[in-house]
Amino acid sequence: MKLFISDIDNRKIEVLAYLIKELKEVKISDLVAATGLSDKTVRGIVLSLKDNPYLDETKMSIKYNEKGNITSIIVSNISLADAAFFYLEKSVIYIMLKELFLRGYLDKNKICSTNFISEATFVRYKKELKTTLKTFDFTLSKENILIGDEYRIRNFYFLFFSFAHSKWFFSEESYSDIERSLSASFFDNTQFDTSKKSMICLLVFICKIRNTQGFYVDRKTTIKLKKNGSYEQIYQGIANYINTYCPYFKNKAEETQCIFFFCIRGQLIVPNPYLEEEMVIEIDHFKHFKETRNYLVQNILSEFFDDDSRRRQLVNQDITMFLLYVYFSFIDSRKFLYVYDEENYYSRTSYEKELLEKIKSFMDSTKHKTPNNLFFEKWFCGEKGDVLINQLFLLVYSLVSRVELENIVTVRVHVQISKVYVADILKAKIKQVFAENVELVPFYDESTDLIVSDKNYSNEKERSLRIYVPTFSDPQYFDILCEMILKEITKKISQNRSW
């Protein structure tokens, strides 16, 4: 969100982000060292945080010395997006973007009179807005209308409003109307958590606003859906909603597909992951699309799934949706983060680094294996290519994680305690914490991973790790036991992930 906020307020957000992440009392000197800002600037920013309504006395505490100087500050566990929105909301660029969305054009007179800014100020901020929009491949016409691909414009608004804050930005009546109508025809048949429901409402609202303003989706590809399958039910549910509650829509079929693609690719609706054979997307008319898709699918299957044919449908479907997203509406979502620190944002474990390197390896070889592929040349080169490779990394990581959910890692634990009753109590406590990740075995054998005991009962044949716990009632001993079991679980996960 830095693009839409003033430099002064961005510095406040940077300090706020650091404080939220620390989750402890921070000295002013430490805050100066961490942010690189001057002592005077940091003190001024800390004082200004008191003006933020999201940071009342229950969320933030500032300590002073006997001279009245600030010594330290602590911020409770709060959402950065919610607290930082206070600064975005004041931004003229934000005001202009919201106006541009709701009206379809910028009304200079309305913006100036409503927000008490001069015409010269409007012109200055409009120039800044045009520069910002150019980074997303958009322009403003002479009539102050946003010009660009409609799919990409809708994705821009969706990312902008969904990243900005957790609340609904528009009239409560508009939200209630959409939620009520979706519940009547759609929500009742599908399970949603609160965040997914609010995002679908936002997506539908954006589509309604854009279509009403005369900005229509005009792209459509052929989708074949298995009769009475889960995908067909979702698709038909969206189509019924539009026909019933948006009868005025132009290009209804295209609008249905637009919402469907957004919902599936954005995981707003998640069917059973092994039902992908229920949907076949026709992509032959997209130049080099099929070649690109097949190349990625085969490499992902080979590198991460041992060419397991059972996974092909899953990988094929997710890669198809990913490439359609790239083709129709790709936008670098990192630009909508309030604080983007690449080093921390992309901090990875050794396993994750290995996963990324494998992806980079087969992507680098595309120049030799798929010469003259315009799709690769346009999207997977330069800065844009780096962003998409990171997106591909997340996609593959998601695929691997979904498959791993089928294979719960189990640590075999044998509890041998000499004191009466204590073993049963310890077993119950262990099971309460680790559930299916622990199998409690009655006797020791070579497959046992961990022995829990109060004394050294080991014999020469024993090879398992032993942890000593004399009682169930001492929390320190139990914490150590839990830590050891967790290490064993983590070790097994790492072994399973070694390619």
- Report DSSP letters for 290-307, one per residue: HHHHHHHHHHHHHHHSTT
Which residues, other chains included, contact 217 with Cβ-Cβ below 8 Å and sequence gap of 6+? 150, 151, 154, 211, 251, 254, 255, 257, 258
Indicate the CATH number of 411-496 among 1.10.357.10, 3.40.50.2000, 3.40.50.2300, 3.40.50.2020.
Answer: 3.40.50.2300
Chain centroid, CA 143 distance in Å: 35
In the predicted model, is pLDDT for residue 347 greater than 80?
A: no
Q: Is residue 256 very low, low, confident or very high in pLDDT (cuts 50, 70, 90)?
A: very high
- Which among 231, 166, 235 has a CA at the least distance from the CA of 201? 166
Q: What is the DSSP string of 59-126?
A: TEEEEE-TTS-EEEEEE-S--HHHHHHHHHHH-HHHHHHHHHHHHSS--HHHHHHHHT--HHHHHHHH
C-alpha closest to that of 263 among 316, 202, 315:
202
Take residue 64 and report the two structure tokens written for it.
């002073």
Contacts of 405 (CB under 8 A, 6+ apart): none
pLDDT at 229: 81
How far apart, in whole angstroms, are the C-alpha atoms of residue 397 and residue 279? Answer: 23
- Distance, CA of 213 to CA of 105 (rounded, Å): 10
Those residues whose C-beta lies under 8 Å from the C-beta of residue 339, and which sit 6 or more positions away, are 13, 14, 17, 80
Residue boundaries of the structural domains of the chain: 2-80, 88-281, 289-404, 411-496
Name the CA radius of gyration of the chain, rounded: 28
Percent of the chain past pLDDT 70, that is, above it, reads 91
**Would you say 275 and 222 are in contact if contact means Cβ atoms under 8 Å apart?**
no
Task: Give residue 52's pLDDT.
Answer: 92
35-44, 445-454, 458-467: least confidently modelled range: 458-467
Q: Given this structure, which CATH class describes domain 2-80?
A: mainly alpha
- Within this chain, domains 2-80 and 411-496 share the same CATH topology: no
CA separation, residue 362 to residues 160, 393, 397, 403 (Å): 33, 12, 16, 22
Q: What is the pLDDT, as a whole number, of residue 216?
A: 92
Q: How far apart are CA 269 and CA 271, in angstroms?
A: 7
| Cα distance between residue 261 and residue 259, in whole Å | 6
The reported pLDDT for the residue numbered 147 is 96
Q: Answer whether residue 313 shows pLDDT above 70.
A: yes
DSSP 8-state class, residue 418: S
pLDDT, one tens digit per residue, over 367-390 is 677 777 778 888 877 777 888 888
How far, CA to CA in Å, does 419 sit from each of 412, 441, 455, 470, 472? 22, 18, 11, 9, 11
CA distance 300 to 312: 9
Q: Which residues pair with 74 in a beta bridge?
A: 61
- DSSP character at residue 456: -
41 closest CA partner among 23, 56, 27, 28: 28
Report the predicted TM-score, pTM, of the whole model to 2 decimal places: 0.81
For residue 404, give the amino acid letter: E
User: 257-266: b or e for each residue (b if 16 or more CB lie within 10 Å)?
Assistant: bbbbbbbbbb
3-state DSSP assignment of residue 239: helix
Over the stretch 49-102, which tens digit does the pLDDT of each residue have? 999 998 888 889 999 988 888 999 999 878 888 899 999 999 999 999 999 999
Q: What is the mean pLDDT of residues 186-193?
A: 65
Please give the Cα distance from 430 to 306 (Å, whole number).
35
State which H helix or E strand residue 163 sits in: helix 150-164
Report the distance separating Cα 21 and Cα 308, nearest Å. Answer: 41
Q: What is the pLDDT of residues 401-428, one digit of tens each?
A: 777 666 678 899 998 887 777 788 888 9
462 against 293, higher pLDDT: 293
Residues paired with residue 24 on neighbouring β-strands, in sequence order: none
Cβ atoms of 96 and 129 within 8 Å: the answer is yes
pLDDT score recorded for residue 494: 67
